[in-house]
């Protein structure tokens, strides 16, 4: 029987043959989807994706670019947004 922490949908069980010749079940975690821009839907650069225990190890500045809307909008969308705001005035 599996341990309760491994009895989840985020676990992928893989049968692998070990050197002794028998096959055993190994657990593999699902990959996390990459972050996408809220404006155009393009994949964001400089934003790593990982399971929470991997993301916890990163510092705040390693998790998103240090600019306005960093980690939410891509560079092009920020550029267009700033242009729009400036032209309103």
Span interacting with Zn ion, options 3-11, 52-60, 64-72, 75-83, rule CB under 5 A: 75-83
68 lines the binding site for Zn ion (CB under 5 A): no
Mention every residue, 6+ apart, whose C-beta is less than 8 A from residue 53. none
Give alpha helix (H) positions in 1-89: 52-55, 60-63, 75-88
By CB under 5 A, is residue 74 in contact with Zn ion?
Answer: yes
Find out whether 2 and 13 touch, Cβ atoms under 8 Å.
no
Q: How far is the CB of 24 from Zn ion (least distance, A)?
A: 45
Q: Which of residues 26-65 bind Zn ion (CB under 5 A)?
A: 37, 39-40
**Interacting residues toward Zn ion by CB under 5 A:** 37, 39-40, 74, 77
């Amino acid at each position: 029987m599996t341990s309760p922490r491994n009895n989840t949908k985020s676990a992928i069980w893989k049968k692998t043959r070990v050197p002794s010749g028998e096959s055993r079940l190994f657990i593999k975690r699902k990959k996390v989807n990459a972050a996408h821009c809220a404006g155009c839907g393009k994949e964001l650069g400089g934003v790593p994706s990982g399971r929470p225990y991997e993301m916890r190890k990163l510092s705040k500045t390693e998790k998103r670019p240090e600019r306005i809307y960093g980690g939410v909008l891509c560079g092009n969308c920020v550029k267009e947004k700033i242009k729009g705001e400036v032209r309103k005035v």
